[in-house]
Amino acid sequence: MEDIECIESLVIDLPTLRLATNNFAEDKKLGEGGFGAVYKGSLPNGQEIAVKRLSQNSRQGIGELRNELVLIAKLQHKNLVRLVGVCLEEEEKLLVYEYMPNTSLDTFLFDSEKRKELDWGKMFTIINGITRGLQYLHEDSQLKIVHRDLKASNILLDTAMNPKISDFGLARLFGEDQSQDTTRRVVGTYGYMAPEYALRGQYSIKSDIYSFGVLILEIITGRRNSDSYNSDQSVDLPSLVWEHWTTRSITDMVDPYFRSDSSWDEILRCIHIGLSCVQEDPVDRPTISAISIMLDSGTVPSQPPSRPAFYVEMSGNVDSGMYSSQSYPGFVNESTAKSTVVSPNELSVTDPEPR
C-alpha cells in the first residue's frame, strides 16, 4: 500500500502531458532507446520536463515500470535524476522526469567537438558526482540498490553539468544482509556488463563497480568500449588501457585534449581506479566508498591492478584463463528467436542464450 500511495501522489493526467509535448510532436523528441522515446515538455506551471513514452511493444513491461517508479520515487539525491510524475492512461505508459538541458554524458564523450566543452576539471567533477550518486544507491540510502545498467547514456547532465544517474528500470533492491543474486534473465548493456553477470547471471554492487570502471576509462580516453568490438583490433578498452599502463605508455591512451592539462596526478589516479574496478574477481574491485575516499584524498588502491576481465593480448590471442570478448554469448532476438550479435553499448540487451 505504501508503494501504491507513493505512485498515486505522482500521477499526471494524459491531456496535460499531451499539451506539454504538443501531442508528442517529432520536434519535441529528445532521443529514442530500446524502451521508447523521450520528449521535452513544459507543465502549466512552467516547469520543463522530459517525458519517457514507453512503446507499445517495449521490452519494459509493467514489472520493470513499477520497479522504476517505486525505487526512484523513494530515492532522493542530488546526483540521481528526479521523478516528477507518471501517467498510465489509454494504454500509454509515461514517466515524467526533471528536464536535463545538457542531455546525457555520452553526447559529450563521443563527439569530438562537444567533448572540447569539458576540460579535465569538469570531467573530474562529473566522475566525483557519479561516485556520490552510486555511493548513495549502494550504501547511504535506506535501500540498497544495484543499478545494473550504469553507462554514459544513463548519466544525465543539468545546466551546471552536474551528473545525475538515471533509468532505474533494471535496478534491483537488495536486503540488508544480501551480497549478491542470480538471474536467468541477464539485462544490461554490452561493454559495461561484468563477466560474472554476463556469463553466469550473478550480480551485486560489484557488478555496478565494473560498469563504473568502464565508464571512467571511457571518460579519460574519449573512446567507447564497444569501438574495439567493431574494429579489426580484437581488444576491449580496459585491456587496451591496461596494456599501455603496464608498458608505461599510458599517456598515449589519454584524450589529447587532456594531455596539456596540469592535473596528471588526478588523471593517473582515475586510470588506476578504473582498472581496479574492472578486475575479473568481484572481490578485487573496490567498494564505492573506497573509491570516494581515493578521489577525495589523492590516494590510489594499495594493490596494482592485474589484467582486467575479458583480457585479450594486443596480438589478438586470448590470455590464458581469461574470457575474451569473443566468448560473450549471443543474445536472443525476440522477433526471430535466433542468436544474434549483441547491441552496441548505447542500447540495453536482454535474455542471453549460449551458442
Domain span(s) for CATH 3.30.200.20 in the chain = 2-98
- For residue 330, the model assigns a pLDDT of 26
- Which of 292, 325, 285 is CA-nearest to residue 306? 285
CATH architecture type of domain 106-353: Orthogonal Bundle (1.10)
Averaged pLDDT for residues 72-86: 87
Residues in the chain: 355
Q: Are 214 and 207 in contact (CB under 8 A)?
A: no
pLDDT in tens, 256-285: 888 766 788 899 999 999 999 999 999 999
CATH superfamily of 2-98: Phosphorylase Kinase; domain 1 (3.30.200.20)
> Any idea which residue has 541477464 for its cell?
186
Does residue 293 surpass a pLDDT of 80? yes
Does residue 255 surpass a pLDDT of 80? yes
Mean pLDDT over all residues of the chain? 80
Indicate the pTM of the whole model: 0.81
Which one from 149, 167, 208, 236 is the annotated catalytic residue?
A: 149
- For residue 229, the model assigns a pLDDT of 43
Domain span(s) for CATH 1.10.510.10 in the chain = 106-353
Give the Cβ contact number of residue 7 at 10 Å.
17
- Return the percentage of the chain with pLDDT > 90, whole number: 48
Burial 25-62 (b: 16+ CB within 10 A, else e): eeebebeebbbbbbbbbebeeeeebbbbbbeeebbbee
**Distance of alpha carbon 139 from alpha carbon 137, whole angstroms:** 6
Evaluated on CA atoms 52, 55, 56, 60, the torsion sign reads negative
pLDDT in tens, 29-54: 988 876 778 999 999 999 999 998 88
Cα–chain center distance at 190: 11
Clarify whether 149 is annotated catalytic. Answer: yes
Averaged pLDDT for residues 173-182: 72
